[in-house]
Amino acid sequence: DQQVKQNSPSLSVQEGRISILNCDYTNSMFDYFLWYKKYPAEGPTFLISISSIKDKNEDGRFTVFLNKSAKHLSLHIVPSQPGDSAVYFCAAWGSNYKLTFGKGTLLTVNP
């Protein structure tokens, strides 16, 4: 049973435009959400997070939105840059103290 779902395996956007990566979850016990970014041949690196008591968190070009009633979160990257091309993983954290990851979305930003 997949508790964290990233339904788009890939996304392609033009440089300078907005990238929107989506994530859905099923477990209402999750109360913290994180996004990780992974380049090929490297380990994932933390990007941004949000607590379930908030609906938005912003850090520079990156903003995460949380819709708790819909069990949905999204990562917005504005403006997108070629260096943002990577796999993005959504992860959720809850009462069992483990991170549950989605399958990832490959973002390609075209110059």
Partner 1 sequence: DVKVTQSSRYLVKRTGEKVFLECVQDMDHENMFWYRQDPGLGLRLIYFSYDVKMKEKGDIPEGYSVSREKKERFSLILESASTNQTSMYLCASSLPPRGRKPNEQYFGPGTRLTVT
Of 23, 73, 75, 104, which one interacts with partner 1 (CB under 8 A)? 104
Rounded least distance, CB 66 to partner 1, Å: 14
Of 43, 60, 83, 111, which one interacts with partner 1 (CB under 8 A)? 43
Site membership for partner 1, residue 32 (CB under 8 A): yes
Of 21, 73, 89, 109, which one interacts with partner 1 (CB under 8 A)? 89
Task: Cis check for the bond before 79: say yes or no (omega within 30 of 0).
Answer: yes
**Binding segment (CB under 8 A) for partner 1, from list 17-25, 56-64, 67-75, 100-108:** 100-108
16-36 burial by CB neighbour count: b if 16+ within 10 A, else e? eeebbbbbbbeeeebeebbbb
Residue 63 vs 88, nearer CB to partner 1: 88
Question: Which residues, other chains included, contact 43 with Cβ-Cβ below 8 Å and sequence gap of 6+?
Answer: none
Site membership for partner 1, residue 45 (CB under 8 A): yes
Of 65, 68, 71, 99, which one interacts with partner 1 (CB under 8 A)? 99
Question: Which residues, other chains included, contact 97 with Cβ-Cβ below 8 Å and sequence gap of 6+?
Answer: none
How far is 4 from 17, CA to CA, in rounded Å?
26
